[in-house]
């Protein structure tokens, strides 16, 4: 499903060039739940931004379902993100002036669905993660865990090919984090491909495969073909 | 092509969806403040120009109402009076669109106030030269309602003898200017006796009334009954110098002028509509004030555009992270831009509607009832609906552009930088 070859991403700090990803290779199969771990500043989130098409690498190739996504123009990339990817941010990234239902509806409406259909799908996604009674609540009226669940509902409502989750439990307490992880595992059981960045080993261990990002490359002891860890 | 239109419409729909929620759940204080600013800007655009134009329009209207009527027929150059006047009056009175006509005898003469005491050595002459007009008071009132503008004493009546009505600007108390160009009589009021000299004939008159219309053509004249003036001037052929004509409501002065020209009236007299007869300085002032109004209006428009630009820019900058998130979850840039443009549209529309309500519900009726007292007119607020709506439309377009540009600037930033606040 995801093929990454020789991915390079660097940043400039004044005249100094900081190479974060060094000819990184990666394979993710359809239906796989993988976690990317590493020390703080190792480039986990940077890798996720490249995979989720939120950023553009210096060089390399990313194929998603054999589509060379780096060759897409900005508009095509936005549409690709809208239709094929779901993104869960560390800080939930909900729109403050929209209630839970509207936050989930928005990308569905952008896909051209009717308001009724978008609402039905949003309600279904929110009910699935136990937020049925809080459809009308604004983000400010929800707890951190609830906001993250709304964020998950928004990411899954349109049935994306891949869900990218950037430290989804970083701002949550242990109990709430477990609820979120349980929900990821349920999605995984339903065949959803999930790529999750986390720095917490106990959550990484729940995934199919742990990819340790170190020194700009992935230390995947099982090999890039992705055998069960 | 069809797919692009579909995507455009979807973006518009999403833009509307987001704009409604941002307005509905945004700060009411901010929304109220922006709408208030838009209303004031609209009023600035319409009212300042409207008063400037209204000022001169009123001067023009005064000239039409109290001097020229809808049409004015006057003496040809190189002629001393309108030849064939009785025949011309007959033609005029037979025209179907004419409500009334007033013939006027006009001559130049001198008025003296202190002629009885002038022999005292230390006294200077209290006299002025003036245009003296002989009228039939009833006919004059039927056309110009001059009698209603008597500010002291009474207007002339048909049977009056040696009495005179003075234009206010012939008296120092109404035109306190010491200038050779503006000579006035001092210490003259109702009941004063003055001596009038025309063509070498002199006669004593009693001041019966004083007129003030704010039309110089009237206020610098002196009025007597036409029979008296005719005798004084020795004009026994009934040749008049001016005929002011009032038309029935809805009748076009140009049409009547054409009808009169068809009778060759222009062989004997100059036939002009009230607009054509307007003094050149009034026409020049109209053009100048309209220009001033447009300059002030343009400044107002620029202020409005900059205001809405700043408001939307600050709004977009403070929401930069959310704009990044929107792009991150796949919302098209066009939809985000639409949301800001639609918000601008909302602010401008409500501001303009509120401005229209204040204008036509408050300011216009107020200025109509309480005109500003300018020396040469009663300044009213000139705000014709069509012109006002055009200004509103211009403001709306300017606002839309002012809303679009900052949204475009913020939306085009890198998505990830916006999300991470870099």
In a domain, A92, yes or no: yes
Residue B108 shares a structural domain with residue B201: yes
| Helix, strand and coil in chain A, % to nearest 5 | 40, 25, 35
Cβ proximity of B258 and B83 under 8 Å: no
Q: Are residues B107 and B201 in the same domain?
A: yes
Chain-chain contact of B330 with A110 (C-beta, under 8 angstroms)? yes
Quote the DSSP letter at residue B182. Answer: B
Pick from B10, B322, B415: which is nearest to A110 by CB? Answer: B10
Q: Tell me: do B393 and B331 sit in the same domain.
A: yes
- pLDDT averaged over every residue in chain A: 88
pLDDT at B138: 94
pLDDT of residue B184: 86
Rounded to an integer, the average pLDDT of A70-81 is: 90
Residue that has been written with the tokens 């609830």 in this structure: A146
A interface test, pick of B330, B333, B340, B416 with most A CB neighbours within 10 Å: B330
Spell out which residues of chain B touch residue A119, defining contact as CB-CB under 8 Å: none
A93 to chain B, any CB pair closer than 8 A? The answer is yes
Does A225 score more than 50 pLDDT?
no
> Is residue A155 domain-resident?
yes
* pTM, entire model: 0.74
Distance between CA atoms of residues B276 and B377, nearest Å = 19
Q: Does A72 touch chain B if contact means CB atoms closer than 8 Å?
A: no
In a domain, residue A229? The reply is: no
The total number of structural domains that make up chain A: 1
Complex ipTM, two decimals? Answer: 0.87
**How many helices (H) and strands (E) are present in chain B, helices listed first?**
14, 12
Q: Which of B273, B304, B320 delimits the end of a domain?
A: B273
Residue A226 lies in a domain: no
Extract the tokens encoding A82: 């809208």
Report phi then psi at B375, rounded to 5: -60, -35
Q: What is the mean pLDDT of residues A199-215?
A: 89
Helices (H) and strands (E) in chain A, counts: 7, 10
Q: Which residues of chain B have pLDDT under 70?
A: 1-3, 118-124
Instruction: Based on the fold, state whether residues B391 and B295 are members of the same structural domain.
Output: yes
Q: How far is CA A190 from CA A36, A47, A125, A158, B355, in A?
A: 21, 25, 14, 15, 59
Say yes or no: A14 contacts chain B, CB-CB below 8 A.
no
The whole-angstrom distance between B2's CA and the closest CA on chain A is 13
Tokens of A182: 């349980």
CB proximity B420 to A under 8 Å: no
CA distance B410 to chain A (A): 16
pLDDT of residue B121: 59
Q: How far apart are CA B109 and CA B256, in angstroms?
A: 34
> What's the distance, CA A37 to chain centroid?
14
Sign of the CA dihedral running A119, A121, A127, A129: negative
Which are the contacts of A114, defined by CB distance < 8 A and separation ≥ 6?
A: none
Q: If pLDDT is split at 50, 70 and 90, which confidence band does A161 have?
A: very high
Nearest alpha-carbon partner for B113 in B161, B180, B191, B185 = B185
| pLDDT score at B1 | 64
Q: What is the DSSP string of B130-148?
A: EEEEEE-HHHHHHHH-GGG
Summarize the confidence of residues A104-130 as an average pLDDT: 92
Among candidate residues B81, B89, B84, the one with its CA nearest the CA of residue B105: B81
Q: Percent of chain B having pLDDT more than 70?
A: 97
Pairing of strands B163-167, B71-75: unpaired
The Cα-based distances of B282 to A2, B212, B230, B232 in angstroms read 80, 18, 32, 33
CATH number of the domain encompassing residue A46: 3.40.50.300
User: Which among B273, B300, B316 is the end of a domain?
Assistant: B273
What is the predicted pLDDT for the residue at B103?
A: 95
Q: Which of A55, A106, A153, A161 is most worth mutating to test chain B (most B CB atoms within 10 A of its CB)?
A: A106
Q: Which of B322, B325, B330 sits opposite A79 (nearest CB)?
A: B330
Radius of gyration over every alpha carbon of chain A, rounded to an integer in angstroms: 17
| Same-domain check for residues B117 and B238 | yes
Instruction: Give the whole-angstrom CA distance, residue B20 versus residue B12.
Output: 12
The domain tally of chain B equals 2
Is A49 in CB contact (< 8 Å) with chain B? yes
B362 DSSP assignment: I
Give me the pLDDT at residue B37, please. Answer: 85
CB-count exposure of residue B290 (10 Å: 0-12, 13-18, 19+): middle
Same domain, B114 and B257: yes
Neighbours of B24 (CB within 10 A): 10
Do residue B335 and residue B263 come from a single domain? Answer: no
Rounded Cα gap, residues B196 and B109, in angstroms: 7
Same domain, yes or no: B103 and B222: yes
Q: Inform me whether the C-beta atom of residue B84 falls under 8 Å from chain A C-beta atoms.
A: no
Q: How far is Cα A190 from Cα A175, in angstroms, rounded to an integer?
A: 23
- Among A49, A87, A97, whose Cβ lies nearest the Cβ of B26? A97
Q: Domain span at residue B189?
A: 70-273
Residue A223 has pLDDT above 60, yes or no: no
On whether both B299 and B403 belong to a single domain, the answer is yes
- Is A110 close to B26, i.e. CB distance below 8 A? no
Adjacent-strand bridge partners of B39: none
Domain housing A93: 2-219
Q: Which residues in chain B have their CB less than 8 angstroms from residue A112's CB? A: 6-7, 10
Is A138 domain-assigned?
Answer: yes
Whether residues B24 and B161 fall in one domain: no
CB contact (8 A) between residue B328 and residue A96: no
> B158 and B203: one domain?
yes
Domain edge (last residue) among B273, B298, B327: B273
DSSP H helices, chain A, are: 44-51, 74-84, 100-110, 115-128, 144-156, 174-189, 201-204
Same domain as B290, residue B334: yes
């Amino acid at each position: 499903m995801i093929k990454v070859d020789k991915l390079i991403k660097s940043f400039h700090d004044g005249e100094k060039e900081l190479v974060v990803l060094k000819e990184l290779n990666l394979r993710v199969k359809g239906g796989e739940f993988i976690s990317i771990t590493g020390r703080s500043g190792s480039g986990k989130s940077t890798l996720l931004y490249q995979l989720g098409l939120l950023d553009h690498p210096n060089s390399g190739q990313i194929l998603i379902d054999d589509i060379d996504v780096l060759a897409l123009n900005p508009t095509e990339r936005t549409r690709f993100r809208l239709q094929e990817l779901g993104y869960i941010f560390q800080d939930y990234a909900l729109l403050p002036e929209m209630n839970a239902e509207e936050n989930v509806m928005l990308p569905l409406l952008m896909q051209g669905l009717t308001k009724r259909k978008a609402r039905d799908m949003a309600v279904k996604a929110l009910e699935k993660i136990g937020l049925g009674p809080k459809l009308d609540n604004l983000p400010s009226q929800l707890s951190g865990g609830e906001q993250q669940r709304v964020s998950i509902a928004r990411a899954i409502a349109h049935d994306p090919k891949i869900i990218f989750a950037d430290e989804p439990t970083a701002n949550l307490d242990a109990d709430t984090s477990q609820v979120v992880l349980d929900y990821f595992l349920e999605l995984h059981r339903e065949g959803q491909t999930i790529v999750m960045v986390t720095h917490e080993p106990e959550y990484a261990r729940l995934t199919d495969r742990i990819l340790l990002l170190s020194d700009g490359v992935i230390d995947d002891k099982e090999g890039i073909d992705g055998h069960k860890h | 092509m069809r797919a692009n239109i579909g995507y455009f419409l979807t973006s518009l729909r999403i833009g509307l969806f987001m704009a409604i929620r941002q307005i509905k759940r945004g700060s009411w204080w901010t929304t109220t403040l922006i709408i208030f600013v838009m209303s004031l800007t609209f009023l600035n655009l319409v009212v300042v120009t409207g008063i400037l134009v209204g000022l001169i329009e009123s001067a023009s209207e005064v000239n039409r109402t109290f001097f020229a009527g809808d049409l004015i027929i006057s003496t040809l150059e190189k002629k001393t009076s309108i030849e064939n006047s009785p025949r011309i009056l007959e033609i005029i009175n037979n025209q179907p669109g004419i409500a009334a006509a007033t013939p006027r005898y006009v001559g130049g003469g001198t008025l003296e106030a202190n002629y009885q005491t002038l022999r005292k050595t230390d006294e200077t002459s209290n006299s002025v030269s003036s245009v003296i007009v002989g009228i039939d008071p009833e006919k004059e009132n039927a056309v110009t309602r001059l009698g209603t503008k008597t500010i002291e004493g009474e207007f002339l009546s048909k049977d009056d003898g040696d009495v005179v009505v003075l234009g206010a600007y012939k008296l120092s108390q109404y035109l306190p200017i010491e200038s050779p160009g503006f000579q006035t009589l001092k210490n003259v009021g109702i009941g004063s006796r003055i001596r009038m000299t025309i063509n070498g004939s002199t006669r004593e008159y009693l001041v019966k009334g004083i007129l003030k219309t704010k039309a110089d053509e009237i206020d610098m004249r002196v009025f007597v009954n036409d029979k008296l003036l005719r005798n004084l001037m020795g004009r026994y052929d009934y040749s008049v110098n001016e005929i002011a004509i009032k038309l029935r409501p809805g009748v076009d002065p140009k049409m009547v002028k054409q009808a009169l020209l068809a009778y060759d009236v222009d062989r004997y007299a100059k036939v002009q509509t009230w607009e054509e007869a307007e003094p050149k300085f009034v026409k020049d002032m109209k053009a100048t004030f309209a220009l001033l109004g447009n300059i002030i209006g343009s400044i107002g428009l620029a202020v409005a555009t900059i205001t809405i630009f700043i408001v939307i820019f600050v709004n977009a900058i403070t929401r930069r992270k959310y704009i990044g998130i929107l792009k991150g979850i796949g919302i098209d840039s066009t939809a985000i831009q639409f949301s800001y443009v639609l918000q601008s549209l909302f602010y401008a529309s409500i501001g303009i509607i509120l401005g229209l309500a204040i204008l036509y519900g408050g300011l216009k009726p107020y200025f109509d009832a309480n005109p500003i007292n300018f020396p040469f007119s009663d300044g009213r607020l000139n705000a014709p609906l069509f012109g006002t709506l055009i200004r509103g439309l211009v403001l709306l377009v300017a606002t839309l552009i002012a809303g679009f540009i900052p949204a475009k600037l913020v939306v085009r930033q890198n998505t990830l930088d916006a999300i991470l606040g870099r």
